[in-house]
Amino acid sequence: MKDADTIVLPRLASTEVDVEDPWGEDHAMVTQATTDTGRWRVTAWLVPALLTVALCLLRAGAATPPGGGTPGLAGSPLLRWWAEVLGASGPAVRVVSMVAVTAAAALVGLLAARLFAPRVGLLAGVIFALLPTSTRYAQEVQPYALTVFAAVLATLLLVRAVDRPTVGRFAGYGAAVLLLGLSHGLALLLLAGHGWSMFVFRRGVVGRWSAVAILGALPAAVALGLPGGVVGGGIARGSEPTLDVLAATPRNLFGVTALGVVLAGLALFSLPLRRAAALYTAWAVVPPLGLLLVAQARPVWVPEVLLFTLPAWATLGAVALARVRARWCAVALVAIAVLGAPAQLARSMPGGHERATGDLTRVVHLWTRPADGATAREAHPAGG
């Protein structure tokens, strides 16, 4: 007797067909989902880039303190090269800064989408673009915009190199580290965060990472005269890390103290420290601690130097927001925009960036002249 329930029939369909979908009806849905994911990944970097351009154009002509960030000039061999080759042209160098911040916003979204999800990438890029300091330093003759771009690029290339360790990928990471160090010497503190992540999660490639990181950082160290003291192009003096100075750091770093508090609070909800979140946590936390330690021996505390940690703070906040409903994400983004709006729209003096550019240009020329007592007195006027 043959039982219809136990008859074995030959398989007519492809062996690749899912048992739950014997007729292949869901293949079209899978293709559509893949296409949608690809579109989301494009959106994750395109929207932040366009938003950054819009905010930069909106802020064009906004005012900045004429001496703001001056200590960072002496720590940037690349900026000094700009001053010599481009003649310290304000508009030309500001265009480079604007392009660097725009590219950084795109890379923030791209990297977060790669490590987490496209939604996280979109949120991270938008949060980064909404921070007042992101667009402020896109308008200035300062190295910080390029430093932020180099930091995000180096982290992205590190992730790619670790996922598939090849000579070419590690060479790309080394080039990004070189750009980072030449943008500002103290930005190499990012390597401490990268190193912590490597030692904890990817010990198998620590040796290769260490060699590439040292080779990439060495030219910047030589250009800055390190070790061997400060002569001409070395790291300029900043502030001693007193309680008052440290208390003002969130405002200097995020543009508004409340934004720093909000992002720090959201970062706590991005835990536990899984691999991706741990990489961003090390990026956000380790460099400030390293700068604080260095500042104990020498007054080099300049909050603007830590602007390259902004992408990490923005992404940690995005990870937390991605866990709630879309409407609450929208509310949070509106709140961030409202908190940063006064700083984004600030117009405190006529001429804005033109006046700041002129002052900074004079400082660049002072720092690129042979160092002597007169130069030091001119570069640091009393009460300036």
Cite the DSSP H helix spans in 60-189. Answer: 77-85, 90-115, 118-130, 132-136, 144-163, 167-183
What is the rounded CA–CA span in Å between residue 380 and residue 79?
19
How many angstroms from the chain centroid is the CA of residue 129?
A: 11
What pTM was estimated for this model as a whole? 0.77
Host domain of residue 154:
46-54+66-223+273-345+352-370
What is the rounded CA–CA span in Å between residue 367 and residue 74?
6
What's the one-letter identity of residue 259? L
Q: Which of 310, 337, 333 is nearest to 138 (CA)?
A: 310
pLDDT score, position 292: 92
Query: In Å, what is the CA distance from 325 to each residue of 330, 332, 343?
Result: 9, 11, 28
What's the one-letter identity of residue 36? D
pLDDT along the chain (384 residues), means of 10: 50 47 41 58 92 84 45 59 61 80 96 94 96 88 89 97 94 96 91 94 92 93 59 57 88 90 86 80 94 87 91 95 91 93 64 44 44 42 39
In a domain, 199, yes or no: yes
pLDDT score, position 208: 95
pLDDT score, position 63: 46
Q: Residues 107, 155: contact at Cβ < 8 Å?
A: no
pLDDT score, position 302: 85
What is the rounded CA–CA span in Å between residue 274 and residue 121?
17
In a domain, 16, yes or no: no
In a domain, 208, yes or no: yes
What is the rounded CA–CA span in Å between residue 332 and residue 54?
20
Query: In Å, what is the CA distance from 21 to each residue of 17, 18, 26, 36, 83?
Result: 7, 5, 7, 21, 65
In a domain, 209, yes or no: yes
Query: What is the total count of domains within the chain?
Result: 1
Classified as helix, coil or strand, 8 is: coil
Average pLDDT for the chain = 77
In a domain, 78, yes or no: yes
What is the rounded CA–CA span in Å between residue 97 and residue 103?
10
The tokens describing 337, both together, are 């925009």
Angle among Cα 104, 109, 113 to the nearest 5 degrees reads: 145
Query: In Å, what is the CA distance from 121 to each residue of 43, 291, 314?
Result: 9, 28, 10
Other C-beta atoms lying within 10 Å of the C-beta of residue 44: 28
In a domain, 380, yes or no: no
In a domain, 117, yes or no: yes
